[in-house]
Amino acid sequence: MTALLFDLPPVVTIPVVGEAAHYPVGRIFCVGRNYAAHAAEMGFEVDREAPFYFTKSAASAVLTGATVAYPPGTENYHHEMELVIAIGAPVFRADAAEARAAIYAMGCGLDMTRRDLQIASRSKQRPWDLGKDVEDSAVFAPLTPAAQVGPVGPQRIHLAVNGEIRQDATLDELIWKLDEIIVDLSQFYHLRPGDLIMTGTPAGVGPVVAGDTITGGIDGLEGISLTIAPAE
């Protein structure tokens, strides 16, 4: 075996309800503007032309219950509560049935965002990385196998900051449904186990500050929490 000059941090792994083994985080894909009311609050009308994506580094993943420092370079760090899909089988150029079969599990996630930097880069037609690929910004709750979740639609998705509700919607409001996202994304990537897809956030995004605790949930899934510590 080839010796390494240094060790990297271990891959982040997510517990799965009813399973002894964890789900290792490979790649993190994120869908933009997938709820009309959130698109509107960001100043956009929704179109059905095609979904769009950005990514977060797998190294930015943390598990629910974490306390993370307020990140550098922002004065407007936002919460985004999201449904997460965990891919469980290789899938490329999927049809709808193959897309549904590739969903291994679902979970709650937080797509924490340096909103000021995202908006600045957007207005300059630059990439979103500084706004979105933030250290410790991809937060995951334990996953629930898809077979135990049932049809996605009526479930409530909600988020509170210090107990005060900020985001409250249902999964019926997803513009691009789960199979449609996988069908489209798999035109561009060989999706495989370890790939997580954050499916977008409903309306009500907003800032957090040091000392805040975020709690969120989706009916039928394990809840999520994150506490923001002072900046380093």
Return residues touching Mn ion (CB under 5 A): 80, 111, 201
Q: Which is nearer to Mn ion, 80 or 133 (CB)?
A: 80
SS (H, E, C) the chain: CCCCCCCCCCCCEECECCCCCCEECCEEEEECCCEHHHHHHCCCCCCCCCCCEEEECHHHEEECCEEEECCCCCCCEEECEEEEEEECCCECCCCHHHHHHCEEEEEEEEECEEHHHHHHHHHCCCCCHHHHCCCCCEEECCEEEHHHCCCCCCCEEEEEECCEEEEEEEHHHECCCHHHHHHHHCCCCCECCCEEEECCCCCCCEECCCCCEEEEEECCCCCEEEEEECCC
Q: Which is nearer to Mn ion, 155 or 167 (CB)?
A: 167
Could you tell me the smallest distance in angstroms from the CB atom of residue 181 to Mn ion?
13
Could you tell me the smallest distance in angstroms from the CB atom of residue 53 to Mn ion?
10
Could you tell me the smallest distance in angstroms from the CB atom of residue 97 to Mn ion?
27
Q: Which is nearer to Mn ion, 64 or 89 (CB)?
A: 64
Residue nearest to Mn ion (CB): 111
Q: Which is nearer to Mn ion, 80 or 195 (CB)?
A: 80
Could you tell me the smallest distance in angstroms from the CB atom of residue 32 to Mn ion?
7
